Chains A and B, each alone.
Chain A
Amino acid sequence: MTDSRPLPTPTELSAPFWDGCRQGVLRVQQCRRCQALVFVPRPMCPTCQHTSLDWTDSGGKGSVYSFTVVHRPPRPAFAVPFVVAIIELDEGWYLLSNVIGCDPDAVHIGMTVEVAFTDMDETITLPLFRPV
């Protein structure tokens, strides 16, 4: 993928997530005390307020929870139409992403998808999703 979309600038908190994407592993935070999965990354567990969270690996498989086909992009860098979706991972956490590799009109709620790591430049890899 060679579009010129704006890319993330990882922070100290989010770097393990983006490093994982580069290495081909989808990671999510997990509370050391109550085991809750936490995304987006936080310094405190929203379930039990524990402040020790570890990074754990996700299987990268899930389904489309909701989606929209975008026809007017936020910036010209995005080629339309494209699909923005909330992915519900099989472990029970949610991630915003794009569904690629199929006709936008074929996307539907409940569609099973898997992560498709996509290199954007020398450092950033995005976790996009494609139909299984």
Chain B
Amino acid sequence: MSRADRRTPLHDVAIVGAYNTRQAKALDVSELEVLFDAMEGAVASANLSLADIDGVNVTSSTRRTNSREVVAWLGGRPSWTGVDIGIPGIVEAALAIAAGLCETVLMATAQVREYTDRASTAPWTRPSNEFVECFGLHTPGEFALMARRHMHLYGTPPEALAEVASAIRSNGARNPQAVHFGRPVTPDDVLRSRLIADPFHLLDCAMTSEGGGGLVLTRADRARDLGVTPVHLLGAGSDRQGMAYVTAPVWDLYGQVGARAAATAFAQAGLSPADIDVAELYDPFSFEIIRQLEVFGFCPPGEAADFVLDGQLRIDGSLPIDTDGGLMSFSHAGLVQLIQKPIAAVRQLRGELPDELTVPGAVTAVASNGGSGALFTDVLVLGAEAP
């Protein structure tokens, strides 16, 4: 593909700041304090201050902080507000910058004390739709229905799911910022943990926690003058397949969700999966990694289990994943994790992770959001070098 074919306005934009607040099972500070930390930490990591921000996408979950309110905090200086979240929020911000609506966007979000009813599973795991809730469906059940069908079709063994969870959790165990720092997990530990919704054991599932994070985007030509290492947007793609947690998660209908996102993102980047050095893949459940490896084109259909069992997802493998510890071990503060995947990719490419989690020479990364049970998957390709 020629360079002209893959031209996208995303190429005019770079991420210049990426920051995570403290994450914990339960934080001892207010959601606003965490959000302020996310905002200030993100702009500081871009060598900027809040006075330099003219576009915002800043929200919080429990308090329902919204970007219009944040514009008022910033004295009305920002002229642009974003409305989407996660990777589509990054795309929206980048397009606003490329179109000249604003120059420097702060994205930040935080969640504290959204999960208080501990007799139930986390609120973001309990859909309320009339065709779902009455049958006891939760997100582990929805994703388990996809996993079971894949295991039936391809013979995917539980040991492959356990290896995924162990690889991700072993990264978090070595990341001092991770909620589960110092807690390595073997595949046997995963298989011996209690069942949640089979085939998923407790350690196949994301944790629940609290925290925040933020990103700063600006024009790529301006990024060079900030004295920080910019990370470039190489490509992005979206795949939406309708009403999540309403329609039954039928593998034959929705199992490939994300294929369109990856195809678009890789084409814009002028890269193939084989060119990717690090993959910060959305990991609500272990099986979802196996699915994304196949759907994004890293492995042929039905062959990701062998790739995984060969140790290729570990830091010293050919495709290290979720190098901060992911939703399983780093943090899963509800929707915050949607931008924490790109944050992880940026911090990895900037060499900001501990040495033992740094992939030597990594210059390309992919980040994803969503998953099969959610009937959407978004993909972002990032690079240390300008496109």
Asked whether B65 is an interface residue with its Cβ less than 8 Å from the other chain, the reply is no
Nearest neighbor of B198 in chain A, beta-carbon distance: A69
Nearest neighbor of B149 in chain A, beta-carbon distance: A66
User: Lowest 4 A-B CB distances belong to which pairs?
Assistant: A8-B130, A68-B144, A74-B138, A66-B149
- Bound Cα distance from A95 to B194, whole angstroms: 28
Q: Which of B148, B149, B248 has the most CB of A within 10 A?
A: B248
B-side interface size class: 35 or more
A-side interface size class: 35 or more
Asked whether A50 is an interface residue with its Cβ less than 8 Å from the other chain, the reply is no
- Contact check, B120 vs A74: say whether CB atoms are below 8 A apart: yes
- Contact check, B146 vs A66: say whether CB atoms are below 8 A apart: yes
Asked whether B4 is an interface residue with its Cβ less than 8 Å from the other chain, the reply is no
Asked whether A101 is an interface residue with its Cβ less than 8 Å from the other chain, the reply is no
Q: Given contacts A70-B197, A76-B119, are A96 and B149 in contact (CB under 8 A)?
A: no
- Contact check, A6 vs B248: say whether CB atoms are below 8 A apart: no
Asked whether B132 is an interface residue with its Cβ less than 8 Å from the other chain, the reply is yes
Question: Shortest beta-carbon distance, A70 to chain B, in Å?
Answer: 5
Asked whether A11 is an interface residue with its Cβ less than 8 Å from the other chain, the reply is yes
Question: Shortest beta-carbon distance, B198 to chain A, in Å?
Answer: 5
Binding site for A on B (CB under 8 A): 119-121, 125-126, 128, 130-138, 140-141, 144-146, 148-149, 152, 194-200, 202, 243, 246-251, 253
Asked whether A9 is an interface residue with its Cβ less than 8 Å from the other chain, the reply is yes
- Contact check, A72 vs B121: say whether CB atoms are below 8 A apart: yes
Question: Shortest beta-carbon distance, A57 to chain B, in Å?
Answer: 18
- Bound Cα distance from A14 to B194, whole angstroms: 37
Q: Which residues of B contact A109 (CB under 8 A)?
A: 148-149, 152
- Give 10 A-B pairs besides A6-B133, A73-B138, A84-B135 with Cβ atoms closer than 8 angstroms: A66-B152, A70-B136, A71-B194, A72-B140, A74-B121, A74-B126, A82-B136, A94-B248, A97-B135, A109-B152
- Bound Cα distance from A75 to B248, whole angstroms: 20
Binding site for B on A (CB under 8 A): 5-11, 14, 40, 65-76, 78, 82, 84-86, 94-98, 109, 120, 124, 126
Q: Which residues of B contact A73 (CB under 8 A)?
A: 121, 136, 138
- Contact check, B136 vs A74: say whether CB atoms are below 8 A apart: yes
- Contact check, A9 vs B130: say whether CB atoms are below 8 A apart: yes
- Bound Cα distance from A7 to B194, whole angstroms: 28
Question: Shortest beta-carbon distance, B384 to chain A, in Å?
Answer: 41
Q: Which of B149, B194, B197 has the most CB of A within 10 A?
A: B197
Q: Which residues of B contact A85 (CB under 8 A)?
A: 145
Q: Which residues of A contact B246 (CB under 8 A)?
A: 40
Nearest neighbor of A11 in chain B, beta-carbon distance: B130
- Contact check, A75 vs B120: say whether CB atoms are below 8 A apart: yes
- Contact check, A95 vs B196: say whether CB atoms are below 8 A apart: no
Nearest neighbor of B250 in chain A, beta-carbon distance: A94
- Contact check, A86 vs B119: say whether CB atoms are below 8 A apart: no
- Contact check, B132 vs A96: say whether CB atoms are below 8 A apart: yes
Q: Which residues of B contact A5 (CB under 8 A)?
A: 134, 136
- Contact check, A10 vs B130: say whether CB atoms are below 8 A apart: yes
- Bound Cα distance from A19 to B121, whole angstroms: 31
Q: Which residues of A contact B198 (CB under 8 A)?
A: 68-69, 71
Q: Which residues of B contact A84 (CB under 8 A)?
A: 135-137, 141, 145, 197
- Contact check, B135 vs A98: say whether CB atoms are below 8 A apart: yes
Nearest neighbor of B133 in chain A, beta-carbon distance: A6
- Bound Cα distance from A96 to B202, whole angstroms: 23
